[in-house]
Amino acid sequence: MKQLPLLTALSCAVLLPAQANDIIHDAEFGILKRQHAQEWQRQDLEVDKKLAEIRKTNGDKRPNIVYFLVDDLSYGQMGNRKMNHVMGVSTKNINDFANQSLSLERMYTEPSCTPTRAAMMTGRHPIRSGSSEVKVTLVGEGLSKDEVTIAEVLSASGYNTAHIGKWHQGDIEESYPHNQGFDFAAFPAHQQVQLSLMTKEAALANNLFGWNESMQNNDFVIDQTFRPNGMVTGLEAKKGGLATEVHMPAGHEWSQADYHAMNVRYQEQALEQLELLADSDKPFYMQYWPLYPLNFVHDQTPNKTRNGGFMVEKLQLLDTWFGEFTAKLDSLGISDNTIVILMADNGLMYHYGGPSGLSQLIYRGGKTDFLEGGIRTDAYVRWPGVIEENSAASDIIHVSDLFTTIARIGQATDNIPRDRVIDGIDQTALLLEGEHNGRRDYVYVYQNEILAAVVKNEFKMHTPTAGMPGAAAPVFNVYRDPREENPHIGMALWSGASFQDMIKRHVMTIQKYPHLPLGKDAPYSGIVNLRPETQKLVEDFNSWH
């Protein structure tokens, strides 16, 4: 495992002082701002003028914003006709949408789903909020009430908000979406490992071992609590209220059919919420985070593919649903004043490569990796008449940038907190003006709490282990070597010190603005109708906490 080396001589890095009302960014952004402040200030005046003209064209109404986040798809698996043929899949609706959009070709995410979602929601590296690790079963932890989400930022500025689908930000009351700024939320308490893998069908398909009791005799089991049973499934709630578990009777054994029904229900609710939100005079922010294509069983989905993998067939179904969603925008007459962002949260779950039908394609690695295959995904932004259709930008962008950019477009920047580091950079100029107007040329890449790599321009250093000098650390040119297989000492010799300076500046910022703790509480707090088996699960958990 990569480890952050011992950092010394921190005084050699410079932290730029922030003005009283400035958003606090990481020190690396200060290096860029020092060089480009005047140019960016001039450009920002033009951006504000353009945004005002757009609002005037739409009756002084700010744009609606839809954020469609798909789980576990590597770069090249959405929106590319040629890659469709490589994979043996057809995603016509997503391809059509990509052709209407700006493609962000260097979108960086976090290595797995909880961290990526926390980064987007808060505009902060997940290490700063304690949300840097994926959790599978109940843990009594989650996104803290002290974090400020994009839903809260926009809600305070007059937006209606809704969340449908995967959430994965914790199993405690304060972390649920309706307590993090959303007016309405329909979401699972956990994620697809529970919902699709922890089923009898997945066990019979040899995709999960040891949990389902039908697959072993268990005659030497003493501890009846080792296998978690009775976990909460799907929840619904409104802002300020308590959550209710839905469609899960007491004593029922969750199945693959239940998982599919949940996916169908979320699609229906997404369309319903779209109608309700469009009916209001207020602008809206809506998140739709599907559970599909993550799936672990062939279950006779009508959309058959040439590929035949059990995740790829669900990708094709998701394409159908995405087409229904964009068609609903058109039928409601709100497409022209609605920004739609479509992207994946991290690379494929390659642990199930082959049978799933998904593969690494261009970049090496996938979910949980700090390699490009884990943190590079397709990302498309459509804003008709504003963002140039069928365009692309190779400027670096990080998923946290969406937080600050969306806030700017929604006239909600004043609601961004000024007492903590916001890693997200305002990339509005990139969206409106296109390629070469980005304001980021770096990314810090964490695996849980470990700083595993640093990206700068086309160069990427895998962080040296303790005792290894920077000049000997592996450095890759991701243009020449996108699979990160051939580190070149010639690059490390000149860049090692510069990368180490970047790390020093980053650590100095952390020392000045320490991380906030993860929220902690009894698991499933704030749910009104816990089943008896769930109550027992919580009692067992609390017995040793």
Residues 434 and 421: beta-carbon distance below 8 Å: no
pLDDT at 117: 97
Q: Can you state the angle between helices 256-278 and 312-331, rounded to 10 degrees?
A: 20
Same domain? For 403 and 491 the reply is no
Same domain? For 526 and 500 the reply is no
Arithmetic mean of pLDDT, 317-346: 97
Kindly report, residue by residue over 336-359, the tens digit of the pLDDT.
999 999 999 999 998 888 899 999
CB neighbourhood size of 524 (10 A): 24
Asked if residue 342 belongs to a domain, the reply is: yes
Arithmetic mean of pLDDT, 121-147: 95
Predicted confidence band at 468 (pLDDT cuts at 50, 70, 90)? Answer: confident
Asked if residue 96 belongs to a domain, the reply is: yes
Closest by CA to 427, choosing from 108, 192, 60, is: 108
Token duo for residue 49 = 């003028």
Kindly report, residue by residue over 202-216, the tens digit of the pLDDT.
998 889 888 888 777
**Range(s) of the domain holding residue 485:** 458-512
Asked if residue 72 belongs to a domain, the reply is: yes
Same domain? For 33 and 74 the reply is yes
Length of the chain: 545
DSSP string, 384-449: TTTSPTTEEEEEEEETTHHHHHHHHHTT-GGGS-SSSB------HHHHHH-TT-----EEEEEETT
Same domain? For 471 and 418 the reply is no
Asked if residue 379 belongs to a domain, the reply is: yes
Kindly report, residue by residue over 244-262, the tens digit of the pLDDT.
999 999 999 999 999 999 9
Asked if residue 374 belongs to a domain, the reply is: yes
Instruction: Decide if pLDDT at 160 tops 60.
Output: yes
Instruction: Decide if pLDDT at 20 tops 60.
Output: no
Same domain? For 502 and 401 the reply is no
CATH number for 418: 3.40.720.10
Residues 515 and 130: beta-carbon distance below 8 Å: yes
Please indicate whether residue 411 or residue 493 has the higher confidence score (pLDDT): 411
Same domain? For 501 and 408 the reply is no
Same domain? For 481 and 406 the reply is no
Same domain? For 110 and 218 the reply is yes
Asked if residue 11 belongs to a domain, the reply is: no
pTM: 0.94
Same domain? For 519 and 505 the reply is no
Closest by CA to 342, choosing from 112, 102, 159, is: 102
Same domain? For 172 and 224 the reply is yes
Closest by CA to 377, choosing from 112, 63, 86, is: 112
Predicted confidence band at 80 (pLDDT cuts at 50, 70, 90)? Answer: very high
Same domain? For 438 and 488 the reply is no
pLDDT at 354: 86
Q: What angle do CA 198, 540, 532 make, to 5 degrees?
A: 70
Domain count, the chain: 2
Asked if residue 10 belongs to a domain, the reply is: no
Same domain? For 405 and 491 the reply is no
Asked if residue 389 belongs to a domain, the reply is: yes
Q: Which residue has the tokens 């100029």?
A: 429
Parallel, antiparallel or unpaired: strands 379-382 and 102-108: antiparallel
Contacts by 476-479 with C-beta closer than 8 Å and gap 24+? 478/372
3-state secondary structure of 185: strand
In a 10 Å sphere around its CB, with 0-12 CB exposed, 13-18 middle and 19+ buried, how is residue 53 labelled? exposed
